[in-house]
Amino acid sequence: ATVSLSSLTAVLPDALALFADVLTRPDFPPAELERQRARRLVRLRQLSDQPQHVAQLAVQRALFGGHPYGHPSIGTPDGLGAITLDDVRELWRALFVPANTRLVVVGDTTPEALRPLLERALGGWRWRPAPSIDLPLPAQVTERTVYLVDRPGAAQSIVTLAQIGVARATPDWALIQVLNNGLGGAFVSRLNLNLREDKGYTYGARSLFQAGRVPGAFTAGAPVATAVTGAAVTEILKELEGVAGARPLAEAEVAYARGTIANGYPRRFESQRGIAQALAEVALYGLPDDTLESFVDQVSAAD
């Protein structure tokens, strides 16, 4: 959960007072709950007609089952309908406590200038113990299974191959990014060159590691014409088995992946918001303090 503020430095004291009011003394009007519920239900109906979203839900359920990662973050119609104002208030009381919070500030200020402002705004925030958030490790896929969501008349199939991947705190994160860039994380990756450039099955194929506090999903796939659904599955499997076996990434592919990642890395820090988000990720996942500075060196050392 994130509460964020963007403000001019000149009015930061007043802005922090409003920020603290929202964070520590929120008002949950009944009418606002109903407005948000209605908006979310409309969004769910819209998403139910989008094949990519339907496929994503199917992957979550197939991989994670009853694990928290198996539940859609946007909710379900039944779940949204059951939420009460007391549920919202209780969740805020449990989660929004100082012991469960990390504060990230990026801007034209210093710790010496900022500390008294923060003490004035947040000094009265009542201490409560941090909640215990103990995520179980998801069980890895042990056999090959096909799940089909039947959409009669669909012009395309969303093909996704998935298994449990890694946690964000893995020490191999930079190495995994290089591997994924060569496999399916870039336009000239193997998956895209095969399914788009060579076969003409899709406008774009990709692979992705979704890493959280515990291992998330690794997915590889593409939207393809219905008539080539089976052939696309065969080609994706071939690329996955090849990169893990007889056809590991060649030296030129690794070098290109390293350069692409390293050269694109500074874009993440072009804005103050981008810097804040990167620092928040370090805090959220308990990463080493030098994570952001050392990433490019780790990428460059990948082979």
pLDDT along the chain (303 residues), means of 10: 92 94 94 97 94 95 95 94 96 93 93 94 92 91 94 93 97 97 97 98 97 96 96 98 96 97 96 96 95 97 93
**Sign of torsion over alpha carbons 69, 268, 55, 140:** negative
- For residue 282, which of 297, 268, 270, 271 has the smallest C-alpha distance? 268
What is the per-residue pLDDT for 134?
A: 85
User: Rounded to the nearest 10 degrees, how much is the dihedral formed by the CA atoms of 253, 258, 264, 265?
Assistant: 150
pTM of the model: 0.91
- For residue 229, which of 132, 146, 125 has the smallest C-alpha distance? 146
What is the per-residue pLDDT for 26?
A: 93
- DSSP class of residue 68 equals G
- For residue 125, which of 106, 143, 98, 103 has the smallest C-alpha distance? 98
What is the per-residue pLDDT for 96?
A: 94
Quick one: angle between helices 173-180 and 291-301, nearest 10? 50
Neighbours of 180 (CB within 10 A): 22
